[in-house]
Structure 1
């Protein structure tokens, strides 16, 4: 699971617990100017992930780490599809972040509110 916060003009994603090990990443910092938007999407875990590297993919258990498909690089950290959040990015290393958060709806609102204020 991940915690999402806003620090000034930056979206901060902190990967928690053992997910740091599975994803091989503990923190992502993205300028809000490069965040296109966020949506709750439990069905995304059924999409093809692409080539893993580095990361973990145990279907039905966890998807964590960096995956490449169709020229895009996507960061994943999801165990519970019901809590999946997709953050679309531009001009960043990743095209999107697919992460599990405690409250996807509140996190979408947090990100959208921060983007409007930026």
Structure 2
């Protein structure tokens, strides 16, 4: 699971990876410029999609998907154990990832936070 926060002053979206997910995903923190965030959606069904090729991290189907993946030319970061709490963050002009698929405590509130932040852009 991750905590998503927005720093308007620095223009950053930060995903702070929590607990053992740091170990499984090989990341503890992601910082993405808000200018690169295109949008966010709550998408529980994404967990059923093909993950692609694991570049670094963990993939135990039905248990956890965490880390970097390549799928159809896209660079993805996953951190999901419970698909019902999965949020997909679409990125543009991203240096590292095209999409983030991250489990959060409150998907609707997280999507609203991100959408409001980029609307004010």
Question: What residue number does 2:2 align with?
Answer: 2
- Give deviations 1:59-111, integer Å, cap 9, x for gaps: 11000000001111100000000000000001111010000000000000000
Count of aligned pairs between the two proteins? 118
Who is 2:64 aligned against?
62
Unpaired stretches in structure 1, ≥5 consecutive residues: none
Q: Give the TM-score of the pair, scaled to structure 2.
A: 0.96
Within 5 A, what are the aligned runs for 1:1-80? Answer: 1-8=1-8, 9-80=11-82
Moved over 2 A (4+): none
2:120, 2:74 → 1: CA distance? 29
Q: CA RMSD in A?
A: 0.6
- Residue aligning to 2:116: 113
Residue of structure 2 aligned with 1:99, choices 74, 86, 102: 102
Question: What is the TM-score with the length of structure 1 in the denominator?
Answer: 0.98
Match of 2:51, SS state, is coil
Name the CA distance, whole Å, in 2 between partners of 1:115 and 1:41: 19
How far is 1:116 from its partner? 1.4
